[in-house]
Amino acid sequence: MEIRVLTPDDAVAFQVLRLQALSEDPVAFASSYEDERDTPLATVAERLQPAADRAIVGAFDGAALVGLAAWHREEMRKLQHKGFVWGVFVAPSHRGRGLARSLIEAVIGLARHAPGIRQLNLTAYAANRTAIGLYESLGFVIYGREPAAICVDGMLHDDVHMSLRL
């Protein structure tokens, strides 16, 4: 397995896996398949342009992209000491191999090297004990729970908010 920062050249593979994630696990993401399915590849490629304050990391099994994790610096001046982790997904065929851990560790490493980043935050589906356990094992702590954070097909789901001090 290769873990690396994605580039605009990975736009097609990213779009395919991202849409798979949104389709197969809609409760885990704030965005929806419907929100992203018509995003032009040029826009996807632009979002994949790495920078010091954001990146999308992928796990590759040969040439196949099988996992994702991303982070970005908060934009508002008073919040720029924080980063946000988003989009974590591993294809079902590749789960249980430690890829999610490797992806999150890569994201944490990138954030640690970004000037001025002091903490990383993330949101996780409250019922996903596996994901929450992984994040806790990497040092993230729960600082809040948001009831009815996500509404999918009329069903409300809670999220937990987690933070890692760098």
DSSP string, 30-56: SS-HHHHTT--HHHHHHHT--BTTEEE
- Which tens digit of pLDDT belongs to each residue from 137-161? 999 999 999 999 999 999 999 999 9
Residue 143 included in any domain:
no
The pTM of this model reads: 0.93
Residue 126 included in any domain:
no
Determine how β-strand 141-152 pairs with β-strand 119-125.
unpaired
Looking up residue 54, the CATH number of its domain turns out to be: 3.40.630.30
User: For the chain, how many structural domains are there in total?
Assistant: 1
- Which tens digit of pLDDT belongs to each residue from 65-95? 999 999 999 999 998 999 999 999 999 999 9
